[in-house]
Amino acid sequence: MPVTNLRQAKILATLATLLSLGVSSARADVVEFKFGGQIASDIRYRLGGEEIPPENSSTAPFPSQQRLLKYGFSRNENLIKAQITLTVANHVKAVADVDFIWYGYSDVNDIDAATLHEKVDPYRLEAHAAYIDVYHLIPKVDLRIGRQVVNWGTADKFNPTNNLNTLDLSDPLLFGRALANNMIRADFNPWRDLILTVVWVPIFRPAQLPRTAPLAVTEAQRPPPVQEDDIRAQLGQLALAMPPTQINVFTQQPETSIENSQVGVRFGGRLLGQDLSLSYYHGRFGIPVPAWVEQGPQGIVNVGVMWPKEDIIGFDWAGSLSKLGGIGYWVEGAVTFPQKVTYGIYNDSTSGHDPVTFTYDAAEKTHNLHVGFPLAQLPTVIPSTPFFKLTAGLDYSFNKYLYGNFQYVHGFIDEFGAGKALYARPGAHIGDPARTEARIGEYLVVGADLKLFNDALLFRLFGVFKLPEVGDPEPKFTAVIFPQIAWAVWDATELSVGAFVFLGDRDTKFGDPASGASELFCKAKFTY
């Protein structure tokens, strides 16, 4: 290299170093760092329910000691949460929120596993946030990019318009906490609280299902998941003729294509002191539904599940009624236009892969079954008929000690599709007729908090009661009751005990073993 060029290069390097030092020191002046988190312990004991996985199951995807017994410890977790927030003036904020969780169960299935830390003491990571906020990207516009939760709706926990993030249904105590996902959110705030929010979610993340969920598709005595009564009866008789010896469940995840990304738009503001919004969502329902089944040789049955597409138009409305002591109210509703899901049935028990289809006999008003006739009708799992969900509620603080909350819910968080929900009756065998209810049910959610000793002691009692269907010839009681005592023993330190009690026969919403089982819990947490 010529001397002159070398000198120039040195000068440039020096300038670059000085500039970079100057820039970094100028930025360092305004970076604010916050660190926090939580240390928690969660022990639960199960009371009844079904054993998961069944005792004769040869494989389990989770630590072997984590089998759910009818009566036994169902959770033995310890958690360390770390939250980091970096703020650069009022322009940028970066947030990370990660849980490190030890299951508290060993997974030592052989002597080699007993030598591995990750088998003796299994753990997992959960990232609730990893995003960057850019404020005032252009005037009146904020941008948030990364793993995040976007919560929409004004109702309490039961939000028909809140669909961008799927739910964590693995823990009933979370009441369906949203699962963070990678997304891009832009908020345009042209005037006061008038906000237009646009969200794009590139890749769908399915809901986290409860450990008991596979029962909904792996129990042979359950009715075939089709809406047409006579087809269901015929499929039941086929299953009776060829009883399953093993049911495997496969998933059909959406491809990571642009067509499968999700979008949401919400426009909200305040009118005459009341909060109003309209929203639209295009994406998928987080809980999978059965879409096909293969009847293989030796009674081996393979079931396929998929996550149906949906378009949702919603509204919410909330405010406070000053003439009624400032009582709070909210109304939130949404119409869902679901993808039609049919049930592909294949007979692989002999040599081929024969589709089982049906044709409708208008004269007999029944369906005729065909094998190897692919152009005929497939039975319906989810009809394309739009359906409506609604939550309307009130809350009130009677005094500084007592708070009450009351909600009417049309459509529970896991309910999807018009038509009927199907249950196997207690003691049912393969092929027995199902007990049916409207798929979109009616519920009352009632709760109260009693706070004593400067809010240090909290008595909480919440209940979800399913209302009987009008005209149901055999209405059945089913409910969930959630009593809890929480004691803030000192700053940021809370101990709590309680129960989550499922009530009802197994052919009801909350009595169904796939919904879960009653648990006692004891938790401690310290937040720093």
Partner 1 sequence: MMKILWVLGLLSGSALAAPTAAEILSNVDRGLNAFKDGTFDSKLLVHDGGSAREYGFTTFQKGSEKRLVRFNSPGDVRGMGVLLENKETMYVFLPGFQRIRRMGMHAKNQNFMGSDFSYDDIAQTAFSPSYTAELAPEEPSSYVLELKVKPKIETDFPRMKMWVDKSNWSPTKMEYYDASGKKVKTQVRDGYHQDGPGHFQPTRVVVTDHRRGDHVSEIVFTGSKIDSGLGDDLFTQRALLR
The beta-carbon contacts of 287-290 under 8 Å, at least 24 apart in sequence, are 287/169, 287/206, 287/207, 287/209, 287/414, 287/416, 288/206, 288/251, 289/225, 289/341, 289/381, 289/382, 289/416, 289/417, 290/217, 290/225, 290/343, 290/381
The DSSP call for residue 401 is S
Residue among 119, 205, 270, 340 that touches partner 1 (CB under 8 A): 270
| Residue 473 CA to its chain's centroid (Å) | 32
Q: Is 36 in the site for partner 1 (CB under 8 A)?
A: yes
Residue with structure tokens 């149906």? 308
Tokens 């500039």 — which residue? 19
Q: Which is nearer to partner 1, 280 or 329 (CB)?
A: 329
Q: Is 265 in the site for partner 1 (CB under 8 A)?
A: no
Q: In whole angstroms, what is the distance from residue 380 CA to residue 339 CA? A: 11
CB of 268 to partner 1, least distance (A): 8
Query: Which residue number, 172 or 355, has a Cβ lying nearer to partner 1?
Result: 172
Q: Which of 73, 100, 360, 403 binds partner 1 (CB under 8 A)?
A: 403
Q: Does residue 54 bind partner 1 (CB under 8 A)?
A: no
Q: Is 33 in the site for partner 1 (CB under 8 A)?
A: no
Alpha-carbon separation of residue 53 from 62, 64, 103, 207 (angstroms): 10, 10, 17, 20
User: Is 453 near partner 1 (CB under 8 A)?
Assistant: yes
Sign of the alpha-carbon dihedral angle for 221, 222, 226, 228: positive
Q: Is 267 in the site for partner 1 (CB under 8 A)?
A: no
Among 55, 112, 118, 491, binds partner 1 (CB under 8 A): 491
Residue 78 binds partner 1 (CB under 8 A): no
Q: Residue 168, interface with partner 1 (CB under 8 A)?
A: no
Q: Does 494 bind partner 1 (CB under 8 A)?
A: yes
For the bound state, the minimum distance from the C-beta of residue 333 to partner 1, rounded and expressed in Å, comes to 17
Percentages helix, strand, coil for the chain, rounded to the nearest 5?
Answer: 15, 50, 35
**Residue 474: CB minimum distance to partner 1, A:** 39
Among 113, 127, 149, 450, binds partner 1 (CB under 8 A): 149
Q: Please state the closest distance from residue 310 (CB atom) to partner 1, in A.
A: 22
CB nearer to partner 1: give 107 or 133. 133
Closest to 85 (Cα-Cα) out of 135, 131, 141:
131
Give the angle 214-518-157 at the CA atoms, nearest 5°: 80
Is the four-CA dihedral 160, 281, 288, 430 of positive or negative sign? Answer: positive
Residue in 61, 273, 471, 473 binding partner 1, rule: CB under 8 A: 273
Return all residues near 449 (Cβ < 8 A) that are at least 6 apart: 402, 403, 458, 459, 460
Residue 266 binds to partner 1 (criterion: CB under 8 A):
no
3-state secondary structure of 78: strand
- Binding of residue 208 to partner 1 (CB under 8 A): no
Q: Does 206 bind partner 1 (CB under 8 A)?
A: no
What is the smallest separation between the CB atom of 243 and partner 1, expressed in angstroms? 46
Which regions of 398-472 does DSSP assign to beta strands (E)? 402-410, 420-423, 435-438, 442-452, 457-466
Q: What is the largest CA-CA distance in the chain?
A: 100
Note whether 446 binds partner 1 by CB under 8 A: no
Residue 404 or 475 with smaller CB distance to partner 1: 404
Among 72, 297, 326, 426, binds partner 1 (CB under 8 A): 326
Q: Tell me if 148 contacts partner 1 by CB under 8 A.
A: yes
Is 395 a residue that touches partner 1 (CB under 8 A)? yes
* Contacting residue, 330, 387, 462, 521, with partner 1 by CB under 8 A: 330
What is the C-alpha end-to-end distance of the chain, expressed in Å? Answer: 57
Q: Could you give the 3-state DSSP secondary structure of residue 111?
A: coil
**C-alpha span between 11 and 377 (Å, rounded):** 78
Taking CB under 8 A as the rule, does residue 276 contact partner 1?
Answer: no
Count of residues interacting with partner 1 (CB under 8 A): 56
Q: Is 25 in the site for partner 1 (CB under 8 A)?
A: no
Stretch that binds partner 1, among 215-223, 327-335, 461-469, 473-481 (CB under 8 A): 327-335
Residues within the interface to partner 1 (CB under 8 A)? 34, 36-38, 93, 133, 135, 142, 148-151, 154, 156, 177-178, 187, 189, 192-193, 195, 270, 273, 275, 318-322, 325-330, 395-400, 403, 451, 453-456, 488, 490-492, 494, 525-528
